[in-house]
Structure 1
Amino acid sequence: MAVKPPRDPQDVGYTWPTVLAVAVHLLVVFFSLVSLPSSTAEPDSSSIVQATLVSTETFTDQAQQATEQQAALNSSTEPDEAEPAPEPDTSEQEALQQQAAEAAAREEAEARAEEQARELQEAQAQAEAEAQRREEEAQRLAEQQEVEAQAREDAQREAEAEAQRQREAEAEAQRQREAEAEAQRQREAEAEAQRQREAEAARQRQLEGEAQAAANAQQAQQAANSFINIVRRAVEQAWLIPAGASDTMSATIQVRLGPSGEVLLTTIASSSGDSAFDRSAMQAVEHAAPFSELRDLPAEQQRNLRQFNLRFTPGDVR
């Protein structure tokens, strides 16, 4: 975009100075052509010395006419070869000399006017050249300012673009952080769910184990009860109650078995007070042995059932 150069306050028009200079030169020519009235009579020269504003061509024509008149006078005053030279007319010669002087003055004034016109033209040309130089300088400054303005605009656009890139990079980084945080939350949630599933599975296994243990314990208890019932029935069949034993009598015999169900030891844990009654109870256990059903039980139950107590009363054995 072209910028109109600022007007230099020192730049002024050359029209009026030119007009004034021409007017001054014309005045100088005018005063140089004006002559004071002469005391002597002069030939009809008023048309030559009359002060009028004429152009340079008029002054030149008048000077040429004066020169021609002087030449004519000189040729007319030359003496013939046959005739003697008459006395020259002094007043006419003075008039001719005055006309020649005035013509020379006019020529000099014209020369000065031409010189001044040339100087004025040169000054005007210099002024125009200076104005042209200033205009070119103003144009150069305007172009430089435009280039600088364009550079500033480019720099501003680049800065805005860089700021936009930074904002986009920060937004992308923020999105990545949020995505990573969301992924971390999902991983933690999955880990927590996995822990809960494992805990639930552990609780389930524990419950199953407890149920299995309870079932095993119940089964063991049932097996133990079954084995004790077998031993009790066998001992009841082998027990010979002594004569005279009362129904209130009771003896508790502690029995220790071997791995195959054989009786290793019987001891009286609680006596009935009657030695015959106590001895009959011990003999009943020994006669009913061995209890081979012990080998059919698991090892753990075998260990638990290798020692037990039997309570003997005349009614039954428990």
Structure 2
Amino acid sequence: MTKNNTGKIKLLEYEKKFRSLGKTKVAGIDEVGRGPLCGPVVASSVILPDDIDIPGLTDSKKISPKKRIRFYDEILEKAISVGIGIINEDRIDQINILNATIEAMILSIEDLKIKPDFLLVDGNMKNLTTIPQESIVKGDSKSLSISAASVIAKVTRDRIMKEYDMIFPYYGLSRNMGYGTKEHIQALKENFSTPIHRKTFKPVSDYLPGFEDIEDIKKLRLQLAATDLLKNTHCLININFIEYYILTSKDNSYNFYSLNTELSKNQICDLVDDILDNDSNKKDISSNLNISVISVEFSKAKPKIKYEKYT
């Protein structure tokens, strides 16, 4: 028996055990992002077929970023169903990171297209739902289903943090993914925290800005709008802090959001065309572009963000 086959059989021991007991839809569940100072916690649930073979798949932390992308694509192709749950920083501050992690896991289960009949959960986690469950300490190295879930969660969260890095430069988020590195801590000291930082986490709570600390209110409005759009499943293409606009894609359309109402539609179309000039998959802009004007109202409560269709 080859080394790869031995590893494959070992990683499928839990799945085979519960399938032998009549469980045919076993879901592995894992999360990423409990420790960072900012951004969401992301969980994934994955149901794999009985005859699955993904050589080399293990705990996402032990896999290089390049290989993680390859495994991510392979898992999406081969899995019976994949679910994702995302809980953002404001909710984490409300209910604490443990409860937020549990919520993210439950959301990922609910996101599955097929209801599982057994759950394999990484860590020492209490029962998440009424579905029978076994928690496995270091399960991402012991169960192929949990390993797959760890990769899906890790790649999903990394992509979110790379987009946040475009919105909030200086913190190195595309490199540290929100974890408290020396670079990140120094940026907090120099620039204060951002709207995506977890306010209840130390040392973030030591560097919360007051309104008087905001140097560019228009930039903050743009950052708040861009953050809101990402949380509503937009993909960020470009953000410009000089002309104050955002370009996103969603549902096969481009979306242009601006604080500037002086540009004409033709000027905006030309601008978007220039931004997408090197995109080989660029769609026809004239028929696939939505244009909106951003307004942000500040109050003691959460800022109110509105998007009005450009006329």
Bin for the TM-score computed over the shorter chain = under 0.3
TM-score scaled by length of structure 2: 0.18
Structure ranking higher in helix proportion: 1
Structure ranking higher in strand proportion: 2
